[in-house]
Amino acid sequence: MDARFIVDGEREVRGWSFNKIEAYKPFGDVSASMLDGVPGVKLSSKGKPVTIYHSVPFKVKPGETCVLRAKVRGNGAGGIGFFAYGQRWAWKGSHGTAVKAGSAAGAEPCPFEARFVVPDDVETVRPTLSASGGGELEFFDVSLEKE
């Protein structure tokens, strides 16, 4: 999974896609961030959710557990999780963990994890990161594992 978070144009991060749902206007901001030389991504909400999702879908099998981990710092609420799809890209919902951060700039980030047990009707997942409600969150050390 690409977790280098190289900003590649307005709101775009190489290997990740910006969720451009019309209802999320005014769109929030996506920018690069660093933590001890490790690249991360900063999502800044303008009152509505700002979400990025991994551009490459990951194939999964029923019964597998997908685990997404990230270290998060900043202020406000957001989430880490998965967009799930069935056959022919049929939308099967989003699943994840809410994150809440309240830390000063430069503080150490807190670890979070989202677990998703794959049901029978899901074939692929895409990891997601988000900030909502005016939150400004930075995500570092993002990783995906299957158990």
> For residue 48, is it within any domain?
yes
Query: Which residue type occupies 45?
Result: S
Which of 52, 54, 69, 144 lies closest to 109 in space, CA to CA?
69
Q: Which two tokens stand for residue 146?
A: 């299957």
Mean pLDDT of 59-69: 97
> For residue 8, is it within any domain?
no
Residue for token pair 């994840």: 96
Rounded-to-integer distance, Cα 4 and Cα 7, Å = 9
Domain of 23 in residue numbering reads as: 16-146
> For residue 129, is it within any domain?
yes
> For residue 36, is it within any domain?
yes
> For residue 29, is it within any domain?
yes
How many Cα atoms are found within 13 Å in the side-chain-facing hemisphere of 52?
29
What's the pLDDT at 7?
78
What's the pLDDT at 11?
79
Q: How confident is the model at residue 105 (pLDDT cuts 50, 70, 90)?
A: low
Q: How confident is the model at residue 81 (pLDDT cuts 50, 70, 90)?
A: very high
Domain count within the chain:
1
Strand partners, 113: 69
Mean pLDDT of 37-50: 93
> For residue 6, is it within any domain?
no
> For residue 26, is it within any domain?
yes
Rounded-to-integer distance, Cα 76 and Cα 32, Å = 18
Domain of 140, CATH number, reads 2.60.120.260
Rounded-to-integer distance, Cα 68 and Cα 116, Å = 9
> For residue 2, is it within any domain?
no
Range picked from 37-41, 42-46, 99-103 for highest mean pLDDT:
42-46
